């Protein structure tokens, strides 16, 4: 019985270790872009979200923004990506640094201005990423591409980006927006947004899980010896 209780406790520790090694945090969240709000031509896939954006707490004053093109198809590509920042803070002082990517695409331009950017005339956003509108697959941010930005500013958390756009135009407000090119068979474009905020669920990295398990092994061996010695 004591041995069973011990292993139950170790499983709980392994779960805690997973959280520690994957950097999960309660404030982290995901935006699933699953609705078209302007342009009348959404991405062609019936599977959503077409795009996913996660704001993930990394450490004090540091947040990662991870953008993935989950369900774009064909020649569809993101040309503009808009998101919001806490209006009580100075967005011009927000540092945005690319720290990771997959796929080939031209690095976007980054613009910051409080309520300075409209998504097809709707809403007022604080940060705009401008990707290549067209060109080769190596230039555009399209199918299978992803990018990670590190956002730093004293005292921020992922929650600093969980605000809706200020009103402007007939649609919204939204937490973020994106412009997708080459929809409708490659001849149109559509504006999309998330319908709300979802919990962020990280995918555990095998190396991190193995490292966590290895750290717990000495504890397990010590506890088993202790139980045997008391018999």
Window from 52-66, 87-101, 124-138, 204-218 with minimum mean pLDDT: 204-218
Residues facing 65 on adjacent strands: 55, 149
What is the rounded CA–CA span in Å between residue 160 and residue 73?
32
Q: Which residues contact 228 (CB under 8 A, 6 or more apart)?
A: none
Q: Which helix (H) or strand (E) holds 12?
A: helix 2-22
182: left (phi over 0), alpha (psi -120 to 50) or beta: left
pLDDT at residue 78 is higher than 50? yes
pLDDT in tens, 114-161: 999 999 988 899 999 999 998 899 999 999 999 999 999 999 999 999
pTM, whole model, 2 decimals?
0.77
pLDDT in tens, 16-25: 344 433 333 3
DSSP 165: P
Domains of the chain, earliest start first: 1-24+211-231 (no CATH), 26-199 (2.60.40)
> What is the average pLDDT score of the chain?
84
pLDDT bracket for residue 27 (50, 70, 90): confident
DSSP H helices, the chain, are: 2-22, 206-230
Nearest to 181 by CA among 68, 89, 43: 43
């Amino acid at each position: 019985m004591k041995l069973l209780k011990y292993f139950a406790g170790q499983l709980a520790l392994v779960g805690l270790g997973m959280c520690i090694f994957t950097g999960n945090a309660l404030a982290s969240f995901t935006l699933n872009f699953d609705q078209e709000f302007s342009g009348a031509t959404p991405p062609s896939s019936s599977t959503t979200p077409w795009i996913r954006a996660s704001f993930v707490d990394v450490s004090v004053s540091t947040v990662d923004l991870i953008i993935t093109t989950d369900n774009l198809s064909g020649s569809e590509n993101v040309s503009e990506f808009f998101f919001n920042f806490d209006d009580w803070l100075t967005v011009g002082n927000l540092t945005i640094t690319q720290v990771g990517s997959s796929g080939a695409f031209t690095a976007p331009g980054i613009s910051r201005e409080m309520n300075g950017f409209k998504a097809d005339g709707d809403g007022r956003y604080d940060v705009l990423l401008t990707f290549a509108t067209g060109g080769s697959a190596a230039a555009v941010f399209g199918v299978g591409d992803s990018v990670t930005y590190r956002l730093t500013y004293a005292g921020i958390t992922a929650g600093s980006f969980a605000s809706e756009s200020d009103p402007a135009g007939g649609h919204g407000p939204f937490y973020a927006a994106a412009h997708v090119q080459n929809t409708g068979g490659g001849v149109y474009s559509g504006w999309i947004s998330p319908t709300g905020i979802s919990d962020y669920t990280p995918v555990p990295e095998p190396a991190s899980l193995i490292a966590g398990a290895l750290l717990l092994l000495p504890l397990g061996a010590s506890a088993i010896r202790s139980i045997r010695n008391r018999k």
